């Protein structure tokens, strides 16, 4: 059993997550740490101290990513990287992102104490940004490390107070060439430990999720245009009712999604009705569609056929339809070899696990486009995330860290 | 043919409607005349002058209803009343209400010129209020004449500027006992000529609608409560999705309404989604339902069965439902005898007509609960109403007035 060789160090995971959440704690007992803001700066500085205490060599890169390095004996070796992001959504949870950083620090500390210097260099990273909560841009940390993001991406970006992205970055001391070069060509792989942010593991009584794919996703705005009319004087057959059309479309979408594949999801989360008056037949409805799956071909086939069917339904209702696709992200496959290392360990340790897709985006989605990447989940209680009520049991946190230790040991020693 | 004995007077209908619309004309070429406001006061005063020119004896009652009286030779006879309302919605049309007043003035003028003094006394009324556009209260004119409305109804009512109903009334000179008693016990019947505010007559090429019933209506707020969750990480079977539940309910409602009866209408005009974010499964949806029909039993049966079905659908979606009924108005039957007089005239004159229900409320709905009442429609172009684009062809306006003349002649001479 993994539990057998767990030292006192592992019990600190919960305490350290609590400690990190004090940087940006809100009155709801949530956490708000936005890229480059004061709480964010203090959290990164505090983590730098923790890395040092853990026997790691800490350093910033010029974008604000913070690394803790455990040098390998094979000097020319490429670097095995683990970690996650330090930023949060507004009033988010303690675990999202933070867990992966804390787990990485504990794992590297544990490995060096238990096994001494590794052959391969290990680094833990506290990525500066993933959520897109301050500026309308996501994956600023992993995006700069891999080269996905460019300086031009932020030229016009401002936060809700009108502060320019670049000014905020400079004010925090970054983007001025004072720290290490951000783009890296020396990484051999990336391993991210994260809370699931869903309830699949908890419902199925699994301790760990080994992610095979991060799903692709497409988002649409659908606008139905009918005709406003008097709710009393317009017989049903004369109506061009945008609400009843939209209702039929959304019902059809949901039914079709359920039949398509157990892992396929389709969501209508936003809906606006015009003029939105009880006794007036609606002229216009706009609604969002978010569809996700691990196979691009299935996303393509689903959207093609469902939108054909939408058009037929609209014709029957004498309404017009306009479909706008404003997001199209490809699925990203995680590294099979790295997954196999994890599943072998989990089998051996007799820990219940599930090979699954991630329905949410993560930094692993960016790294996975450039280098072998593995994303590992621990359960989220009731699937609650991006909320002060986000919670993962201490025992689950520890199981995840022990798995990370064993994987890193396998790769670096 | 009716047209044959139409004098020059009848051609004035369009011109007089245009003239009346100058009191309260908006920049969109619509009309805004709200109860007791300056435009309203000027319009009533101007109409008083027109009534005098038309040989009628004008007088106000203490609520602000304006009458024009053509005294009958049978002194003890009860009064035959025709007319409609002078107030409008915000930026409404020229014809809604105004047409019935103008038609009444022209008809009484015509009758006295053509046939001299009637046996029965005829009055035309410009009712002070029907729309509920200034204060949250409708039918203030007909409601006071019949006794449906009480002083207590307005005690707390204020307009959007915080002006109390009673203060507005007093400022316009009413409610102070200076004019005739409002409540009347001397009326034998009420005949209202109005634009259809629907497109049934135009679509079916009918010149006149003879209303058999004003529909009953019920309005509901339906709230569906599910659970907010991540759109990517929550598999379809685990969802408690308020939007997809509401979509199925609304689709079911529409299908059922279409099958129930050709004259049955059901409308969902308002819908609010919480939290209304594209990538979050909605926790709550509230939507309105407006159902109307001329038979109370059918309204009752429909609502009972559809809400039973709603509950079953919500169980399947694992969502909760709350249904609030905030309006329940009984259908009102128009007087068959009066309708028969109209249809006999229309048959004889070979004017295409339709016996139909009124899906909208009118002052006739109030009078109809107390005395024999007839509501007669002329076509509304494209069914547009409560809009500056409200329009009725001059030829249709004239046909309606000629029918009114013939009906009043039948009753009063």
Cβ within 8 Å, pair A271-B269: no
DSSP 8-state secondary structure symbol assigned to residue A325: E
- Rounded CA-CA distance A181/A123 in Å is 16
The CATH number of residue A182's host domain is: 3.40.630.10
- Rounded CA-CA distance A262/A256 in Å is 11
Containing structural domain, residue A151? 2-214+331-412
- Measured in whole angstroms, the distance separating CA B346 from the mean position of its chain's CA atoms is 23
- Rounded CA-CA distance A282/A277 in Å is 8
- Rounded CA-CA distance A404/B175 in Å is 83
B236 shares a domain with B138 = no
- pLDDT at res. B7: 58
Nearest residue on chain A to B234, alpha-carbon basis? A198
Taking contacts as CB-CB distances below 8 angstroms, the residues of chain A near B302 are none
Among the listed residues A380, A395, A402, the one whose alpha carbon sits nearest the alpha carbon of residue A93: A380
Kind plus residue range of the DSSP H or E element containing A13: helix A12-21
- Rounded CA-CA distance A399/A382 in Å is 19
Q: What are phi and psi of B72, to 5 degrees?
A: -90, 165
Cβ within 8 Å, pair B278-A233: no
Q: Are A374 and A337 in contact (CB under 8 A)?
A: no
Partnered with residue B230 across adjacent β-strands are B280
- DSSP labels for A129-183? --S-SSSS---HHHHHHHT-S-GGGGTT-B-TT--BHHHHHHHTT-SSS-SB-S-
Indicate the pairing of strand A284-293 with strand A271-274.
Answer: antiparallel
A176 shares a domain with A37 = yes
A323 shares a domain with A183 = no
Nearest residue on chain A to B281, alpha-carbon basis? A269
How far B236 CA sits from the closest chain A CA (Å)?
6
Residues of chain A with pLDDT under 70: 1-8
pTM above threshold 0.95 = no
Taking contacts as CB-CB distances below 8 angstroms, the residues of chain B near A354 are none
A166 shares a domain with A225 = no
Cβ within 8 Å, pair B219-A273: no
Cβ within 8 Å, pair B250-A247: yes
How far B386 CA sits from the closest chain A CA (Å)?
9
Of A231, A250, A358, the CB nearest to B247: A250
**Interval B391-411 mean pLDDT:** 97
Of A203, A267, A279, the CB nearest to B281: A267
Write the pLDDT tens digit of every residue in A345-383: 999 999 999 999 999 999 999 999 999 999 999 999 999
Of A234, A290, A361, the CB nearest to B278: A290
B192 shares a domain with B256 = no
Indicate the pairing of strand B284-293 with strand B265-267.
Answer: antiparallel
Taking contacts as CB-CB distances below 8 angstroms, the residues of chain B near A197 are 230, 233
Q: Which of A401-405, B49-53, B228-232, B334-338 has the lowest mean pLDDT?
A: B228-232
Of B217, B219, B247, the CB nearest to A247: B247
Of B249, B281, B360, the CB nearest to A230: B360
Of A233, A268, A292, the CB nearest to B243: A268
B385 shares a domain with B248 = no
Q: Are A271 and A252 in contact (CB under 8 A)?
A: no
Q: Are A58 and A121 in contact (CB under 8 A)?
A: no
First-to-last C-alpha distance (Å) of chain A:
20
- Rounded CA-CA distance B242/B239 in Å is 9
B238 shares a domain with B108 = no
Cβ within 8 Å, pair B232-A292: yes
Of B247, B267, B282, the CB nearest to A231: B267
Q: Are B89 and B384 in contact (CB under 8 A)?
A: no
How far B177 CA sits from the closest chain A CA (Å)?
37
Cβ within 8 Å, pair B268-A247: yes
Question: HEC states along A74-139?
Answer: CCCCCEEEEEEECCCCCCECCCCCHHHHHHHHHHHHHHHHHHCCCCCCEEEEEECCCCCCCCCCCC
Question: For chain B, how many structural domains are there in total?
Answer: 2
Prior bond of B166 cis (ω within 30°): no
- pLDDT at res. B151: 85
B35 shares a domain with B134 = yes
Substitution target in A227, A230, A375 with the highest count of B β-carbons within 10 Å is A230
Q: Which residue has 């199981």 as its token pair? A: A399
Cβ within 8 Å, pair B254-A241: yes
- Rounded CA-CA distance A93/A95 in Å is 6
Query: Residue A399: CB partners within 8 Å, gap ≥ 6?
Result: A2, A207, A208, A351, A378
Q: Are A175 and A319 in contact (CB under 8 A)?
A: no
Domain stop point among B295, B311, B329: B329
Taking contacts as CB-CB distances below 8 angstroms, the residues of chain A near B199 are 233-234, 238
The CATH number of residue B289's host domain is: 3.30.70.360
Question: HEC states along A347-405?
Answer: HHCCCCEEEEEECCCCHHHHHCCCCCEEEEEECCHHHCCCCCCCCCCHHHHHHHHHHHH
Among the listed residues B390, B402, B2, B68, the one whose alpha carbon sits nearest the alpha carbon of residue B202: B390
- Rounded CA-CA distance B125/B129 in Å is 11
- DSSP labels for B375-403? EEEE--GGG--SSTT----HHHHHHHHHH
A404 shares a domain with A367 = yes
Taking contacts as CB-CB distances below 8 angstroms, the residues of chain B near A365 are none
Average pLDDT, chain B: 95
Cβ within 8 Å, pair B235-A383: no
- Rounded CA-CA distance B60/B71 in Å is 16
Tally of CA atoms within 13 A in the half-sphere of B189 that contains its CB: 18
B166 shares a domain with B123 = yes
Write the pLDDT tens digit of every residue in B4-43: 344 567 789 999 999 999 999 999 999 999 999 999 999 9
CB burial string A61-75: b at 16+ within 10 A, e below: bbbbbbbbbbbbeee
Partnered with residue A92 across adjacent β-strands are A31
Query: Residue A112: CB partners within 8 Å, gap ≥ 6?
Result: A55, A70, A118
Taking contacts as CB-CB distances below 8 angstroms, the residues of chain A near B203 are 238
Substitution target in B133, B200, B230, B282 with the highest count of A β-carbons within 10 Å is B230
DSSP 8-state secondary structure symbol assigned to residue B335: P
Among the listed residues A240, A266, A263, A239, the one whose alpha carbon sits nearest the alpha carbon of residue A252: A266
- Rounded CA-CA distance B86/B82 in Å is 13
- Angle, nearest 10°, between helix axes A394-412 and A12-21? 100
Nearest residue on chain A to B358, alpha-carbon basis? A233
How far A142 CA sits from the closest chain B CA (Å)?
21
Q: Are B331 and B296 in contact (CB under 8 A)?
A: yes
Among the listed residues A157, A15, A208, the one whose alpha carbon sits nearest the alpha carbon of residue A94: A15
Taking contacts as CB-CB distances below 8 angstroms, the residues of chain A near B390 are none
pLDDT bin (cut points 50, 70, 90) of residue B1 is: very low
Write the pLDDT tens digit of every residue in A246-303: 999 999 999 999 999 999 999 999 999 999 999 899 999 999 999 999 999 999 999 9
DSSP 8-state secondary structure symbol assigned to residue A236: G
- pLDDT at res. A7: 58
Beta strands in B196-309 (DSSP E): 208-214, 216-225, 229-230, 265-267, 271-274, 280-281, 284-293
Tally of CA atoms within 13 A in the half-sphere of B247 that contains its CB: 25
- Whether the pLDDT of residue B374 is over 80: the answer is yes
A57 shares a domain with A173 = yes
Surface-to-core class of residue B263, CB atoms within 10 Å of its CB (0-12 exposed, 13-18 middle, 19+ buried): middle
- pLDDT at res. B334: 98
Write the pLDDT tens digit of every residue in B210-221: 999 999 999 999
Cβ within 8 Å, pair B230-A200: no
Indicate the pairing of strand B208-214 with strand A320-329.
Answer: unpaired
Taking contacts as CB-CB distances below 8 angstroms, the residues of chain A near B263 are 235
In a 3-state reduction of DSSP, which class is residue B98?
A: helix
Taking contacts as CB-CB distances below 8 angstroms, the residues of chain B near A234 are 198-199, 265, 359, 383
- DSSP labels for A292-306? EES-HHHHHHHHHHH
B173 shares a domain with B33 = yes
Taking contacts as CB-CB distances below 8 angstroms, the residues of chain A near B383 are 229-230, 233-234, 238
- pLDDT at res. B2: 44
How far A348 CA sits from the closest chain B CA (Å)?
28
Cβ within 8 Å, pair B234-A386: no
Domain stop point among B329, B353, B368: B329
Cβ within 8 Å, pair A268-B247: yes
CB burial string B82-115: b at 16+ within 10 A, e below: bbbbbbbbebbbbbbbbbbbbbbbbbbbbbbeee
Domain stop point among B285, B309, B329: B329
Cβ–Cβ pairs < 8 A, chains A and B: 203
Q: Are A235 and B260 in contact (CB under 8 A)?
A: no
**Interval B120-133 mean pLDDT:** 96
Taking contacts as CB-CB distances below 8 angstroms, the residues of chain A near B310 are none
Q: Which residue has 């979050």 as its token pair? A: B280
């Amino acid at each position: 059993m993994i539990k057998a060789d767990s030292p006192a160090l592992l019990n600190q995971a919960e305490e350290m997550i609590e400690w990190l959440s004090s940087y940006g704690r809100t009155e709801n007992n949530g956490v708000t740490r936005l890229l480059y803001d004061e709480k964010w700066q203090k959290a990164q500085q505090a983590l730098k101290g923790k890395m040092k205490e853990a026997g790691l060599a800490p350093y910033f890169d010029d974008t604000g990513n913070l690394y803790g390095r455990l040098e390998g004996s094979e000097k020319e070796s490429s670097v095995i990287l683990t970690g996650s992001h330090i930023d949060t959504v507004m009033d988010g949870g303690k675990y999202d992102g933070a867990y992966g950083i804390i787990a990485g620090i504990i794992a590297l500390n544990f490995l060096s104490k238990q096994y001494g210097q590794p052959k391969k260099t290990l680094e833990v990273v506290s990525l500066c940004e993933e959520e897109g909560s301050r500026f309308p841009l996501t994956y600023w940390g992993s995006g700069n490390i891999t080269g996905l993001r460019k300086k031009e991406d932020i030229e016009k970006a401002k936060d809700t107070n009108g502060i320019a992205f670049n000014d905020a970055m400079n004010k925090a001391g970054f983007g001025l060439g004072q720290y290490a070069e951000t783009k890296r060509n020396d990484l051999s792989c990336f391993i991210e430990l994260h809370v699931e942010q869903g309830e699949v593991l908890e419902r199925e009584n699994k301790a760990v999720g080994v992610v095979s794919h991060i799903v692709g996703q497409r988002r649409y705005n659908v606008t139905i245009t009918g005709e406003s009319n008097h709710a009393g004087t317009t017989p049903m057959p004369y109506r061009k009712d945008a609400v009843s059309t939209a209702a039929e479309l959304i019902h059809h979408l949901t039914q079709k999604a359920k039949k398509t594949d157990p892992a396929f999801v389709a969501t209508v989360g936003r809906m606006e009705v015009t003029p939105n008056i009880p006794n007036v037949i609606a002229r216009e409805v706009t609604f969002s569609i978010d569809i996700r799956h691990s196979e691009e071909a299935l996303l393509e086939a689903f959207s093609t056929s469902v939108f054909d069917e939408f058009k037929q339904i609209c014709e029957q209702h004498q309404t017009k339809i306009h479909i706008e696709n404003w997001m199209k992200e490809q699925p990203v496959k995680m590294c099979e070899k790295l997954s196999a290392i994890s599943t072998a360990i989990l089998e051996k340790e007799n820990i219940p696990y599930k090979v699954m897709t991630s329905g949410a985006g993560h930094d692993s989605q960016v790294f996975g486009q450039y280098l072998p990447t593995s994303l590992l989940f621990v359960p989220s209680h009731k699937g609650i995330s991006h909320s002060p009520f986000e919670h993962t049991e201490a025992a689950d946190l520890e199981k995840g860290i022990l798995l990370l230790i064993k994987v890193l040991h396998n790769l670096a020693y």
